Homo-oligomer: A and B are copies of this chain.
Amino acid sequence: MSASGRWLSGTFPREVVVAAAQMGPVARGDTRAEVVERLITLLRTAHDRGAELVVFPELALTTFFPRWAIDDVVELDGYFETHLPGPATQPLFDEAKRLGVGFQLGYAEITPDGHRYNTAILVERDGTVVSRYRKVHVPGHDQEEPWRAFQHLERRYFEPGPGFQVHEAFGGLVGQATCNDRRWPETYRVLGLQGVELVLIGYNTPIHYLPDPGQDRLAGHHNTLVMAAGAYQNGTWVVGVAKGGVEEGVWSLAESQIISPGGEVVARAITEGDEVVIALVDLDRCWDYKRTVFNFAQYRLPDRYRMITEEPKPD
């Protein structure tokens, strides 16, 4: 019997209380210890309100360093983790395990063989590391562009990860994505084809989009639009969590939210600072959609989609 079939039998617990743990700005000078203390405060707040899974933002441990061209290797490495948990972050892992709360945390990863990724670790309620998801759709640019008021050098600092995979965790099938991944319908679809029921997304999204400032006023609309469409079109819950507010002079979108498989926002942050919002996530609601209008086996026609996986031809 497939995993989904097993769960549909009703023998599994299928409800999980999820917290979106939004963060306000992290300054360039903030230490890991200071940030970890904030994370622990958010974790405890979420636990007090019944959360079993706490979702933190992308690159939660530091300021969003891709806004600068950093040539000093020591300085740059200071924003990365060679070990997670490591000495500074262990207290968060310990407290989560003690409380029996799982979490997702975004961080800059250096692997033992020297690869650099924009990564999100997923940890179960018992402290087991479920996965380290490496961001696939790395946005921005790889060379410094002096015309920009601030840089977005993710493509200089991170390689793209290998792909999207679901994991059995929290009583369901959980997928992960990071920031720009959420704009691409392929992200949700690749997870959806694996039966995903809960997609966890951290983000840092500057509101001023320098390549086309006309989009600035739509930042909040686009954020909800892409996550709600991904949720509905795949019959999955989606949790989007920001590091928002004005960080080192750059204003980033907050509006952390939890979205149902019907594409409804069921919880939404109303500040640009550290804030926890909670929702009861009934994973069985996914099957309202997966069994009907988005029954992939019945209605999808992959041979009509071939262009989607073809490499682009030269123009």
Contact = CB atoms under 8 A, between A and B. Distances in A.
Contacts of A299: 137, 139, 180, 184
The interface size bin for chain A is: 35 or more
A309 B305 contact: yes
A209 B292 contact: yes
Interface in A138-169: 139, 160, 162-164
Contacts of A183: 233, 293-294
Given A185-B189, A221-B263, A305-B186, A312 B292 contact: no
A208 B165 CA distance: 35
A193 B309 CA distance: 11
B218 A308 contact: no
A194 B306 CA distance: 12
Interface string A210-234: 0110110010011001101100110
A214 to B, nearest CB: 6
B308 A186 contact: yes
Interface in A267-315: 288-289, 291-294, 296-297, 299-312, 315
Q: How many copies does the complex hold?
A: 2
A230 to B, nearest CB: 8
Interface in A179-214: 180, 183-186, 188-190, 193-194, 209, 211-212, 214
A109 B96 CA distance: 61
A215 to B, nearest CB: 7
Contacts of A222: 232, 262-263
A3 B137 CA distance: 27
A136 interface: yes
Nearest to A312: B297
Contacts of A304: 136, 160, 162-164, 186, 190
Contacts of A163: 304
A157 to B, nearest CB: 16
B193 A233 contact: no
A247 interface: no
A56 B184 CA distance: 30
A9 interface: no
26 contacts: A136-B301, A137-B301, A160-B301, A160-B304, A180-B299, A183-B233, A183-B294, A185-B188, A186-B300, A186-B305, A189-B305, A189-B308, A190-B308, A211-B291, A212-B288, A212-B289, A214-B262, A215-B288, A215-B292, A218-B264, A222-B263, A225-B229, A225-B263, A296-B312, A297-B315, A308-B309
